[in-house]
Amino acid sequence: MPRYHGQHGYGPVIRIFHWLTAILIGAAALRGVTMIALPATTDAEVARIFSAFSLHKTLGIAALAVILLHMIARLVTRDPGPLHPERRAEVFLARTTQLVMWGGMILLPLSGWLRHASAPGFAPILWPFGQSLPGVPADERLSLIFQTVHLYAGWTLAAAVALHIIGAARHAVLDQDATLARITTGAGPYAPPAGFPMVPLGIAALLWMAVLAYGLRQAPEPIPDPFVDFQGGAELQTAPEPDLSAASPAGQDAEVPLDTDQETIDMPRPPSD
Ligand code: HEM
Ligand code: HEM
């Protein structure tokens, strides 16, 4: 029987996208976990953190671009069916895991991008296009929500990828079947495509809704800036009246518009001295 995509292994386009996706997500994740632990005590270290954040964001955007192309390719081609359709629970778990990964592949870079676009101060994405996103205002509360979703999306995707790799390793070591070969060389026995995985899709969608809701709930409130509150008059209502008899030009300071440009930055602040 002739070998063609959809019945034997995965086709070359999907295979290339699969490994490119894995490499870019892996690189972005590695930079992500290491960049947040970098020290920030000297100007040089702070500059290094900025570069690390920029690199992380750029890798993440590159991953998102590849993932979108991967998704289009995936929608217009048919994947090979399960090698062991009789192992129903295993097939179900593998398909649910794949769909959970698809959710994370989209939501993780997207939440990072939204976090970036809604943070007024940031390390830029290294590209010639703008840094903001249409319809996404610079807003600290919003930014913190996206930051939290980014974090939980990262953990969820990491868990799914771990299961995925354990499954692949199990097939390679215990079953010694063609599962890994189908996504590496494209070789594999005839395996007709299975039906649409409606229930796994529903489970993956529910899981992601729960992650988004949890992220929304857990997002920290922006730290109130007492200086802004003071200007807004909140402090004035409770604080004792200042002695205006000794008012000098400095006594009018509260009326003077002060520079409240408060930067929300997505990285540790530079040392203050
Ligand atoms: C698939 C791609 C991506 C992966 C695997 C990834 C992974 C991570 C990880 C592991 C962290 C550290 C944990 C955390 O504090 O959340 C992180 C943080 C961060 N990521 Fe991503 N990320 C991706 C895409 C992006 C993109 C596209 C952007 C922005 C354009 C972005 C912006 C950020 C920012 C700003 C932080 C720091 C969060 C904070 O302020 O604490 N990420 N990311
Ligand atoms: C971030 C890392 C990874 C992601 C997001 C990912 C995602 C996916 C997805 C979505 C599929 C379904 C095919 C497709 O739609 O392209 C797939 C298939 C596959 N992946 Fe991965 N993968 C990753 C890493 C790996 C690694 C490291 C291995 C091997 C150790 C691996 C082994 C496989 C195998 C064997 C298949 C075919 C499964 C089958 O035939 O049912 N993947 N992967």
Q: How confident is the model at residue 169 (pLDDT cuts 50, 70, 90)?
A: very high
Distances from the Cα of 112 to the Cα of 28, 150, 227, angstroms: 11, 6, 29
DSSP 87-144: -HHHHHHHHHHHHHHHHHHHHHHHHHHHHHHH-SB-PPPSSSS-SS-TT----HHHHH
* Confidence (pLDDT) at 78: 85
List the residue whose alpha carbon is closest to atom 10 of ligand 2.
98
| Mean pLDDT, rounded, for 139-161 | 97
Encode pLDDT of 116-136 as tens digits: 999 977 799 999 999 999 999
- Whole-angstrom Cα distance, residue 205 to residue 195? 18
List the residue whose alpha carbon is closest to atom 42 of ligand 2.
165
* Confidence (pLDDT) at 252: 34
* Confidence (pLDDT) at 7: 58
Q: Say if residue 2's pLDDT is above 70.
A: no
Distance (Å) from CA 147 to ligand 1 centroid: 8
Q: Say if residue 61's pLDDT is above 90.
A: yes
Q: H-type helices in the chain, by residue range?
A: 12-35, 43-76, 88-118, 140-170, 179-184, 198-218, 226-232, 234-238
| Mean pLDDT, rounded, for 30-51 | 96
Distance (Å) from CA 111 to ligand 2 centroid: 22
Distance (Å) from CA 210 to ligand 2 centroid: 24
Distance (Å) from CA 188 to ligand 1 centroid: 36
Ligand 2 contact via 168 beta carbon (within 6 Å)? yes
Question: Which numbered ligand comes closest to the C-alpha of 65?
Answer: 1
Distance (Å) from CA 87 to ligand 2 centroid: 19
Q: Poorest-confidence range of 120-129, 214-223, 263-272?
A: 263-272
* Confidence (pLDDT) at 192: 86
For residue 26, the ligand 2 atom closest to its alpha carbon is 1
Encode pLDDT of 181-210 as tens digits: 999 999 999 898 888 899 999 999 999 999
* Confidence (pLDDT) at 224: 76
* Confidence (pLDDT) at 251: 35
Question: Which numbered ligand comes closest to the C-alpha of 23?
Answer: 2
Ligand 2 contact via 179 beta carbon (within 6 Å)? yes
**Looking at the DSSP assignment, which residues form a beta bridge with residue 121?**
265
* Confidence (pLDDT) at 26: 98
* Confidence (pLDDT) at 266: 57
Ligand 2 contact via 63 beta carbon (within 6 Å)? no
* Confidence (pLDDT) at 226: 65
* Confidence (pLDDT) at 227: 62
Q: How confident is the model at residue 145 (pLDDT cuts 50, 70, 90)?
A: very high
List the residue whose alpha carbon is closest to atom 18 of ligand 2.
183
| Mean pLDDT, rounded, for 80-104 | 96
Which residues line the pocket of ligand 1, CB cutoff 6 A? 25, 28-29, 32-33, 36, 56-57, 60-61, 63-64, 108-109, 112-113, 115-116, 125, 147, 150-151, 154, 266
Question: Which numbered ligand comes closest to the C-alpha of 19?
Answer: 2
Q: Poorest-confidence range of 31-35, 217-221, 232-236?
A: 232-236
Q: Say if residue 59's pLDDT is above 70.
A: yes
Choose the most confident range, by mean pLDDT, from 19-23, 120-124, 226-230, 235-239: 19-23
| Mean pLDDT, rounded, for 17-23 | 98
Distance (Å) from CA 21 to ligand 2 centroid: 9
| Mean pLDDT, rounded, for 92-99 | 97
Contact 191, 80 (CB under 8 A): yes
